[in-house]
Structure formats: C-alpha cells, structure tokens
C-alpha cells in the first residue's frame, strides 16, 4: 500500500501551473491518501460572471487506473511540477507541460481511464480518425484533443441524436507492448490539429520545474528562518495562479487570480497586494500595478472590479489601495529600471482614478467620497454598512490621502515640481477634512451620507486609516494602537479579526469576524507607515504563524486559528488563495 508524498494537498488547493486553465483536483469528498481519491481533471476557464471555477462547470473528467482490466487504487503524490499516482502495480505521472498541454505518462503497464459525464447541450466526443479523440463541452468551455503518443485508446461515447449530444465519454488508454503509455491532452480554442510530435515527458517536468524556480528565485522574497519551510508552497500558489496573455483573451499582461475554484478572476485590488509582495523584482511588481489600469475607462477614470479571459466587470470595484502600493514601491524599489514613459503613464492613470472618486463618488459634495456598494468596501458584509449606503467613512478618505501622497512623490520623481506640490497640498487638505469629520477624539466613526446617521462599530475598517502614515497626528496613532492591541477584542493570537470579538455584530462569516488577508495586511502596513515597526511586526508575526499552521486560507477563524471552511463558497469547502500567499509573502518577507 502506497502512502504518497505531497507537496500540496489537493483538497486544499487544486494542482495547476502558470498560464494554464488545466487543473487537477479532488472532489469535496476525495482525499489524497491511498484508495480515497476522487481525482478529476478540470478547467478554470470562465463561462461568464460568477461562474468561473464552480464545481458544476470545472470538473470535467474523473481519473481512474486499471491493470489488466481491474481497478487499481492509488495514493496521490506531487511536486511543484508533476503529480504521481502511486499504486501497488506502478505509477502514473501527470504534468501540465505547457499552458495548453496536459501529459500522462506511465512505464508500468497501467491503463488510464478518463470518465466525463456529459449533460450539457451539444457536448461532443469526436473520433478524429487518426487515433485521437476530441472532447467539446460548452458548459465548461472545453475543447480538448486526446492524442495517444504511445499506447492505444478504447472509447465508449454513445451519441444521442435526439439529445444532440454524446451522453458521456468513457475513454481507456492502454499501454503499448512495452508497458509504456503516453497520452497528450491539448486544449484548443479553435479547431484542433494533432502535432507531428509531442515533448518528452521528463523534459516537460524539468521545464515546468525550471519555470517555477525562476519565478521563485527572482520574484518571491526570502523569508525569515521561521517561515522558510512555507516559502516554496506560497511561491507555488502565486505562480500556479498566474494568468498570461493569450490569443482571444482579455488578459493583456501577467495577472494573478484569487483561487482555482469559486473566485477564478483577476481582482484589481489583489494585483496591488501582489505588487507589494513582489517588490524584489521591480519590473514584475510595476507590471502588476500597471495591469490594473489597462482596463481603466479613458473618460471617467473608473477601473473594473475584476477581469478574466472573457469578461470585464465595472458594476462594482474594490477599495482604491493603489496609493498604498505605490508608496510601498517608492520606498522599497530602485525605480531607475522603470522607464520614464511607464512612470508617466501610471502617474496619469492613478491621477485620473483619484479624480473619479471626487466626481462620481461624492454625492453630498462635502469633499469626502463615499462607498456606494458594499462590495466597494472590500469587506462585503462589514458592519460599517449597517445604516445602508452611500457610506462616508475614514477608510476611503485615507486611501485617497495615500494616493495623493504617492502622486506627489511620483510627480517629484518625474521632475514635475509644481504638480508634486499641488498633490502634497491636496493630501494635506483631504487629511484635515477626514480628521475633522470622522475623528471623535477617541475613535474614528463613519456616517450615512444621506441621513448623516453616525456608525460606530467594531469593524477593522476603523483601523485601516493608519495607512495615512505621517498624515495622522501622533496622539491619534497612539490611541488607535492602544485600542488595536486590546487582546481578544481587536486582536487575537492569530491576527486582527474583521469585527471586534466583543462586538454585537461579531459572527464567523466573511467580514463579520474572520481574520482576512487584505485587511490584516493593510493594518500592518499602516502601523509600519506610522513608524510603529514593532507593532507592525507583531501583527505580521501573528498572522504569518497562523497561516503557516492553517494553510493559505483567505479567512482564518480568530478563535481557533484554523481555516474557516464555512465562511465562503457554495460548497462549504474553502480552498487556499493566491491572494493569501501574497499577503503571507509581504508580511513574512518584509515586516517580520
């Protein structure tokens, strides 16, 4: 009986690689240990807003092994570059060799069975008359060509002309007379064509591993000894969730999705966190920050909420933390490697976004823009929204102060001294309005922009104004820090809960109490910007230790420190997030 050695547990994170839509995943009930697998080849292709990576669309075909016609149980092992299905009769190897190429390989006389249930209209399994077969499903946006490079195929895929589809695909690929099986599965967006030859499997594994290591060694930060054991996993999470430009895709440059399941889009504000985490490679970091503005509306300056290969969503967006990210890069990076043209382009686009908020998000005209949807807070069910919307709050104003400060610094770097001065004055004036309006002398509050009802809750968003840094008077910083470090109220052994533990609104869901990667990160960065390095380090340490223990879950239970499986998702299974891996890299690599 084989036990397997796992780099990544597939129940926590489906297996993927940079640039590919292929994933290999366990079902909600499957496990990687011997005989317990329910392993599927899937896709993370989008089929429209809200459907990218759902189980109903992304599980395409189940993987089974046979020996002499009998089922073979196996354990699942993996490295950053390949999967090994280990059985008592030998092994089956799987590698996502290229962005659009999946390879299976065995030298042990094993047969591979791929079973795809097909329920969607027009699903088709076609005999290409050269030994290869083509599977097309509209439900999953799949068009895969199966080529037996070595070995042969027995296909069972009955066609129902009344239903206008094949009922299922049950393909068995047998090894050749030497016991070798090589199957290539190639994805096509247009009509397929079999290649004259396919890469050698071992060469594919070596190339994938080299690509991962090149990313890790040039982009990902070194970590303190305490966190070194998690470095490869965190780096792999980000690398394997990276989208790249491809024909007919809306992705224009490398961007990073959140998860392989549920949230398979490139969320704009997440790119800003990743930019900060990757400041070791200034070109890559700057590129991530630029990627957000590739989709900016040229007239009003708005940026979208998220992008995938098919869709751009402007119906909402997330908090404008781009000044926070830009200030971080200005502090940490040698920007001489970034051309003047790229600096100027980003400067103009960030300035346009800043003006958007005062033109379109200041309904009462008081010079303090509002959040108009709960999504815009980044904490969708935050207690700040208990009085409804539009919501005027210190958090949004603080992000805009940070943006004006970053624009001032970037203008100075470009030699635009008058503009630099104007932006500095803008940041100062906005800071004054923020403090006069939202600071009570004891804490920050928010209010409904229409009714002017005051909102005073235990939301973490009343601490994120720390990102203003030098703009916050020291006595206010002192009050906020003292309150923040009230143990088991605003901070737990695992980080900062999104809602205070003594709040009447505390609950174990989304932003009602779980410890979340973005808000924890922003508070830690704010402490550092305010010169409170030891406090920033303490928050970073608590969170990094919790994540290292629990895994890269987007939400951590503030009472137990475990990944909060029930806080997110329709299947009550939360998967690791590349976003969390990026925040872990940022906090462990630069604040711990």
HEC assignment per residue over 325-384: HHHHHHHHCCHHHCCHHHHHHHHHHHHHHHHHHHHHCCCCCCCCCEECCHHHHCCCCCHH
Based on the domain organization, do 248 and 289 belong to the same domain?
yes
Q: What is the pLDDT of residue 517?
A: 96
Of 146, 121, 129, which is closest to residue 61 (Cα–Cα)? Answer: 146
Residue at which a domain ends, from 171, 189, 207: 189
Q: What is the pLDDT of residue 458?
A: 98
Q: What is the 3-state secondary structure (H, E, C) of 145-183?
A: EEEEEECEEEEECCEECCCCEECEEEEEEECCCCCCEEE
Residue 392 to residue 319: CA distance in whole angstroms: 13
CA-CA-CA-CA torsion sign (16, 91, 2, 35): positive
Q: State the pLDDT confidence band at 304, using cuts at 50, 70 and 90.
A: very high
- Cβ of 252: how many Cβ atoms within 10 Å? 12
Structural domains of the chain, count: 2
166, pLDDT greater than 80: yes
Residue at which a domain ends, from 139, 172, 189: 189
Answer yes or no: are the C-beta atoms of 135 and 124 closer than 8 Å.
yes
Backbone angles phi, psi at 476, to 5 degrees: -70, -40
The string over 44-80, giving b where at least 16 C-beta atoms fall within 10 Å of a residue's C-beta and e elsewhere, is bbbbeeebbbbbebbbbbbbbbbeeeeebbbbbbbbb
| CATH number for the domain that contains residue 508 | 1.50.10.10
Of 496, 566, 504, 555, which is closest to residue 525 (Cα–Cα)? Answer: 496
Residue 382 to residue 512: CA distance in whole angstroms: 6
In a domain, 200, yes or no: no
Based on the domain organization, do 571 and 440 belong to the same domain?
yes
567, pLDDT greater than 60: no
Residue 15 to residue 37: CA distance in whole angstroms: 14
Answer yes or no: are the C-beta atoms of 533 and 545 closer than 8 Å.
no
In a domain, 372, yes or no: yes
The string over 316-347, giving b where at least 16 C-beta atoms fall within 10 Å of a residue's C-beta and e elsewhere, is ebbbbbbbbbbbbbeeebeeeebeeeebeebb
Residue 383 to residue 172: CA distance in whole angstroms: 54
Based on the domain organization, do 561 and 422 belong to the same domain?
yes
256, pLDDT greater than 70: yes
- Cβ of 159: how many Cβ atoms within 10 Å? 13
Of 282, 572, 390, which is closest to residue 290 (Cα–Cα)? Answer: 282
CA 380 distance to own-chain centroid: 17
pLDDT tens, residue by residue, 8-54: 998 889 999 999 999 999 987 888 888 888 999 999 988 665 445 55
pTM for this predicted structure: 0.97
184, pLDDT greater than 80: yes
pLDDT over 90 percentage in the chain: 89
In the DSSP assignment, the letter for residue 574 is P
Residue at which a domain ends, from 147, 172, 189: 189
174, pLDDT greater than 90: yes
Residue 479 to residue 476: CA distance in whole angstroms: 5
Residue 433 to residue 431: CA distance in whole angstroms: 5
Based on the domain organization, do 220 and 168 belong to the same domain?
no
In the DSSP assignment, the letter for residue 19 is T
Maximum CA extent, the chain: 82
Based on the domain organization, do 480 and 406 belong to the same domain?
yes
Identify the H or E element spanning 541: helix 533-550
Question: Which range has the worst mean pLDDT, 271-275, 449-453, 505-509, 579-583?
Answer: 505-509
In a domain, 201, yes or no: no
Based on the domain organization, do 309 and 371 belong to the same domain?
yes
Based on the domain organization, do 418 and 303 belong to the same domain?
yes
Residue 88 to residue 434: CA distance in whole angstroms: 67
In a domain, 198, yes or no: no
Residues 6 or more apart whose Cβ sits within 8 Å of residue 94: 24, 82, 83, 84, 85, 102, 103, 104, 105
Based on the domain organization, do 303 and 400 belong to the same domain?
yes
Answer yes or no: are the C-beta atoms of 434 and 467 closer than 8 Å.
no
In a domain, 84, yes or no: yes
In a domain, 10, yes or no: no
Q: How do 124-127 and 70-71 pair as beta strands?
A: unpaired
Based on the domain organization, do 294 and 433 belong to the same domain?
yes
Q: Which residues pair with 132 in a beta bridge?
A: none
Question: Which range has the worst mean pLDDT, 26-40, 164-178, 428-442, 458-472?
Answer: 26-40
Q: What is the pLDDT of residue 56?
A: 52
Based on the domain organization, do 286 and 161 belong to the same domain?
no
Q: How large is the average pLDDT for residues 313-325?
A: 97
Based on the domain organization, do 166 and 237 belong to the same domain?
no
In a domain, 468, yes or no: yes
Q: What is the pLDDT of residue 568?
A: 56
Residue 262 to residue 570: CA distance in whole angstroms: 8
- Structural domain including 434 reads 216-590
Backbone angles phi, psi at 5, to 5 degrees: -125, 120
Q: What is the pLDDT of residue 415?
A: 99
| Strand arrangement of the beta sheet that strand 370-371 belongs to | 370-371, 391-392, 446-448, 454-455
Token pair, residue 306, equals 């998220």
What secondary structure does DSSP assign to 232-278, as a single string? Answer: HHHHHHHHHTEE---TT-S--S-EE-S-SSS--SEEHHHHHHHHHHT
- Cβ of 315: how many Cβ atoms within 10 Å? 9
Based on the domain organization, do 314 and 276 belong to the same domain?
yes
In a domain, 354, yes or no: yes
Of 216, 225, 226, 153, which is closest to residue 184 (Cα–Cα)? Answer: 153
Of 258, 263, 260, which is closest to residue 273 (Cα–Cα)? Answer: 258
């Amino acid at each position: 009986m084989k036990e397997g050695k796992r780099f990544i547990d597939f129940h926590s994170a489906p297996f993927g690689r940079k640039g590919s839509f292929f994933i290999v995943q366990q079902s909600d009930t499957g496990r990687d240990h011997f005989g317990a697998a329910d392993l599927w080849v899937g896709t993370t292709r989008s089929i429209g807003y809200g459907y990218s990576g759902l189980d109903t669309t992304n599980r395409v075909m189940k993987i089974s092994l046979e020996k002499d016609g009998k089922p073979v149980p196996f354990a699942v092992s993996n490295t950053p570059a390949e999967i090994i299905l280990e059985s008592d009769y030998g092994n089956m190897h799987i590698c996502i060799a290229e962005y659009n190429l999946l390879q299976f390989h065995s030298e042990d006389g094993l047969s591979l069975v791929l079973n795809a249930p097909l329920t969607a209209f027009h699903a088709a399994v076609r005999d290409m008359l050269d030994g290869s077969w083509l599977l097309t499903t509209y439900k999953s946006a799949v068009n895969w060509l199966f080529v037996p490079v070595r070995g042969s195929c027995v296909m069972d895929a009955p066609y129902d002309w009344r239903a206008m589809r094949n009922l299922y695909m049950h393909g068995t690929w047998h090894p050749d007379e030497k016991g070798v099986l090589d199957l290539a599965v190639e994805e096509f967006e247009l009509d397929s064509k079999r290649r004259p030859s396919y890469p050698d499997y071992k060469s594919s594994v070596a190339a994938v591993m080299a690509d991962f290591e090149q990313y890790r060694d040039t982009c990902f930060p070194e970590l303190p000894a305490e966190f070194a054991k998690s470095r490869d996993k965190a780096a792999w999470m980000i690398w394997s969730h990276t989208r790249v430009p491809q024909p007919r895709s809306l992705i224009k440059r490398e961007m990073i999705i959140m998860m392989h399941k549920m949230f398979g889009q490139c969320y704009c504000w997440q790119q800003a966190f990743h930019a900060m985490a990757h400041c070791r490679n200034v070109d890559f970091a700057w590129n991530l920050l630029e990627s957000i503005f590739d989709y900016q509306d040229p007239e009003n300056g708005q940026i979208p909420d998220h992008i995938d290969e098919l869709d751009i969503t402007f119906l909402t967006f997330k908090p404008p933390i781009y000044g926070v990210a830009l200030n971080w890069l200005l502090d940490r990076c040698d920007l001489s490697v970034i051309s003047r043209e790229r600096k100027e382009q980003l400067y103009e686009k960030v300035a346009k976004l800043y003006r958007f908020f005062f033109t379109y998000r200041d309904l009462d005209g008081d010079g303090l823009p509002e959040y108009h949807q709960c999504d815009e807070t980044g904490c969708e069910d935050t207690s700040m929204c208990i009085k409804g919307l539009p919501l005027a709050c210190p958090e949004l104003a603080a992000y805009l102060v940070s943006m004006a400060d970053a624009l001032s610094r970037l203008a100075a770097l470009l030699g635009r001294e008058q503009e630099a001065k104007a932006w500095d004055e803008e940041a100062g004036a906005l800071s004054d309005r923020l403090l006069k309006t939202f600071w009570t002398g004891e804490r920050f509050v928010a209010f409904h922009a229409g009714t002017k009802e005051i909102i005073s809750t235990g939301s973490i968003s009343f601490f994120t104004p720390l990102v203003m840094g030098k703009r916050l008077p020291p006595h206010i910083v002192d009050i906020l820090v003292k309150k923040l470090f009230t143990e088991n109220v605003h901070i737990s052994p695992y980080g900062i809960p999104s809602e205070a533990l003594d709040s009447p609104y505390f609950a174990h869901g989304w932003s009602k109490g779980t410890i979340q990667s973005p808000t924890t990160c922003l508070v830690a960065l704010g402490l550092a910007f305010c010169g409170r390095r030891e406090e920033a380090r303490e928050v970073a340490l608590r969170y990094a230790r919790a994540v290292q223990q629990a895994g890269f879950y987007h939400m951590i239970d503030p009472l137990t420190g475990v990944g909060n499986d029930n806080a997110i998702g329709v299947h009550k299974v939360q998967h690791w997030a590349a976003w969390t891996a990026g925040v872990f890299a940022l906090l462990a690599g630069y604040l711990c």
